[in-house]
Amino acid sequence: MSHQEYNRRAFMSNSLQLGLSGTVLSGLGTIPTGLSAAAGNSFGRARSVIVMFSWGGMSHIDTFDMKPNAGSEIRGEFSRISTTIPGLKVCEHLPKMSQMMHHLTLVRSVHHKSGDHRKAAYWNLTGHPPEDVGAAVAPPVLPNRKDWPSIGAQVAVAMKHDTRYSKRSKVTRLNPEALSDKAPDLKINWDNLTVHSSALLSTEVLGPGHFSAGSFDNQDGHTNDGTVELIGMFSQAYAGDTLITRDQDGPTADFSEYVSGDGTAGDWGSDTHGRGGNLWLIGDGEPNKPGKGFGCHANKFITFDLKKVREEHFAKSDKPFVVTMKVGICGNPGVHPTAKGMGGVWLDGKEALVSRVLQRDQKSQLLEVPIEADARHLTLAMLNGDSSTFFDDIVLADVTLHEVSGELPELPKRPEEVEVESVAVNDSLAANLPRCLSVPYPLADRGLLNGQYGGFLGLEYDPVFVHPGEGQPFKGVSATSGSVDLAPKGVSRRRMAKRSQLLDGINRQFPWEHIDDPTGKAKATQDQALNMLLSPDVQLAFDLKREPKATRDLYGDHLGGKSALLARRLTDAGVPLVTVNVSAGDLNSGSGDHWDTHGDNFNRLKRDLLPPWDHAGASLLRDLVDSGRIEDTLVVFLTEFGRTPTINTSSGRDHFPNCYSVLFAGAGMQGGLVYGESDKTASRPISGACTPEDIHATIFHALGIPSEYQIYDQEDRPLLMCDGTPLPIT
């Protein structure tokens, strides 16, 4: 049998004549429940789809299918609030989504038979049941080429002949020589300033000696309960949001751009090196003898309380300061020839000035940083930086705080701090983007989850996992395997461009056709991933800073909102389906911000899970509605199963595939509709029962993919892509 391949126009011309098979009366109006196909006028309404996936199993009974009349062992702790649909109420901790319900179709009758996370997610993400459905918790079956492909991969293959995805455009690459690792210069004209007094921050303020930096990412390092707020050390994982004072609500600093690993050792040294030996700048040709300043291995910082410094060392002066220092590599202990590192200054948690990457034998760099009179916290950081080899013993020499009067120069603005012109994207570069995209990282539970990859469709349809590179993270563990970070930590764009040149050279010497890639698909996939990082043309689709400020503010600073915004921008650029994982990526035995709430269900929901989900979902819908994109963008809020109606002894709820809720919005879906109904304890559907297959059929129908569409496995056998029936919800 020959392959049947449809483009979008073919889909539309083959539109089926579909009808409804039944209705049921509900307190909210007449609601169709038959599983005959949806109304024909919705066929092909969707140009693109965003799937918001809640990994771990969102509790339906605590969110969208609450049972206030059930016993206390079932109904839970939360109250209900009204929505924009008369008579419909949802959880009190969904205030923003409650105001968007008139745009949503709520399906309360989804069910299947697998209580295992991996199997249930496979079923929901592929639309096909896994093997051995009935096993409650089975040994993990890791991703393989016998799996059914993810919904994103299925949509990509069904729509691959759409003209948006077939005309590859020429793209430009970054020239590494046009980029610089050099820090912005700041030249202070001392003729315009009067220096009144000065103090060495090492010898006079902290005092000489070794001082503990505590443990990674904790506020347990040295403090003198006065001028020194905190000496600490930070890891790559939390470098984007490092607390730099003892105050839990105090300022944080973002060191993430300058951290390429978690290697560090020794203490913070004052007038000595924190790992022993004298403090001296080898690149300046200094002798190996004691010096003034700070020395340590990278990934450490010290924060001074400038108010206390003024009181103790500057007679309570209210004048501004200038801090000066030399940054270089230490000659002790046994400094390695490949040693590299950086030093930087943060004021009240905001980056002021960072040195360039300095090698062992390079002359030190002078940093001079003005400090306004109202600044409270001065942070000095030792950073391993781009190209670090982890032999990064750094010196901040002669660190001096000068009390001055006169006109202070402005700090140089980093490029990302400059408001750039907002630029909308369209599908002109769709063919240059990966066929399948997920945000912000892959899902895992006892290993990476199968069902989220290309399966038997092969490498070409494996998703690229893209992290937006910003946003307050979900707490917990998230896998990074196979993912692309749009702001990779500790690796500059110049270094990436150099790597790209090296890779191109290797490819020329060892052509892909000789490396088991006769079709060039692997090479094309690699090119697309590199384009995301190195092509200004293609990277525009991923650049959230190109959104208007009002839009960025709408989505907020959490990773959930940033990921939703990135998904919306990618669908604008022509990606047919983007999956957003709205939680931590790894279930990790119940630890972290994911929806597997076996214990402390109510606190975790109201404190950690529902607020970012509520904000991200409502912001996405508001943006789509206000811009008119809702007309051809389908949004699906999905999870792998619900939670048990009965609360367990750990104040949690367990796995429950018998009944759960899914929401649809946009692309012809009927807003303000509730489809299906569960019994009085949300234990089973009593009308409109539907399955993951039907959810997929509804999505495919909206995209204009015919119900008889076939795809082919590795043995070239034709398989019906979907066994479900579209829900009558349009």
**Predicted local confidence at residue 350, as pLDDT:** 94
Q: How far apart are CA 605 and CA 62, in angstroms?
A: 9
Q: Is residue 140 over pLDDT 80?
A: yes
Q: Is residue 524 over pLDDT 60?
A: no
Q: What is the dihedral of CA 158, 164, 170, 173, to 10 degrees?
A: -80
Tokens, residue 277: 């030996």
Q: Is residue 518 over pLDDT 70?
A: no
What's the pLDDT tens digit per position in 251-265?
Answer: 999 988 788 766 788
What's the pLDDT tens digit per position in 631-645?
Answer: 999 999 999 999 999
Give, in degrees to the nearest 5, the angle at Cα 510 between 509 and 516.
170
* Greater pLDDT, 679 or 336: 679
Tokens, residue 616: 């991200």
Q: Give the number of C-alpha atoms closer than 13 A to the C-alpha of residue 174, restricted to the C-beta side.
A: 23
What's the pLDDT tens digit per position in 404-453?
Answer: 999 898 887 665 555 667 888 888 878 778 888 999 999 999 999 999 99
Q: Is residue 530 over pLDDT 80?
A: no
> Helix (H, G, I), strand (E, B), or coil: what is residue 29?
strand
Go through the domains of the chain in sequence order and give each one's CATH number. Answer: 8-170+429-488+546-720 (3.40.720.10), 190-413 (2.60.120.1060)
What's the pLDDT tens digit per position in 476-508?
Answer: 999 877 677 766 555 555 555 555 554 455 444
Q: Is residue 21 over pLDDT 50?
A: no
Q: How far apart are CA 604 and CA 708, in angstroms?
A: 43
**Predicted local confidence at residue 23, as pLDDT:** 27
What's the pLDDT tens digit per position in 26-42?
Answer: 334 333 333 444 445 67
Give, in degrees to the nearest 5, the angle at Cα 281 between 276 and 287.
85
Q: How far apart are CA 486 and CA 495, in angstroms?
A: 14
**Run of H or E residues at 73:** helix 72-75
**Predicted local confidence at residue 539, as pLDDT:** 78
**Predicted local confidence at residue 207, as pLDDT:** 96
Q: Is residue 91 over pLDDT 50?
A: yes
* Greater pLDDT, 94 or 486: 94
Are residues 275 and 333 in contact, defined by beta-carbon separation less than 8 angstroms?
A: yes
**Percent of all residues in the chain with a pLDDT value above 90, rounded to a whole number:** 64
Tell me the mean pLDDT in the region 278-297: 92
- Hey, which residues does 382 pair with through a beta bridge? 300, 343
Residue 247: phi and psi, rounded to 5, are -75, 120
Q: How far apart are CA 73 and CA 60, in angstroms?
A: 15
Distances in Å between the Cα of 363 and the Cα atoms of 279, 312, 357, 359, 392 are 15, 34, 11, 9, 15
**Predicted local confidence at residue 360, as pLDDT:** 84
Peptide bond connecting 320 to the previous residue in cis, omega within 30 degrees of 0: no
Put residue 589 in one of left, alpha, beta given phi > 0 → left and psi -120 to 50 → alpha: left
Q: Is residue 22 over pLDDT 80?
A: no
Question: pTM higher than 0.75 for the full model?
Answer: no
Q: Is residue 402 over pLDDT 70?
A: yes
Q: Is residue 199 over pLDDT 70?
A: yes
Provide the residue type at 337 as one letter. P
**Predicted local confidence at residue 516, as pLDDT:** 44
The owner of tokens 């203490």 is 267
Q: How far apart are CA 620 and CA 637, in angstroms?
A: 11
**Predicted local confidence at residue 687, as pLDDT:** 98
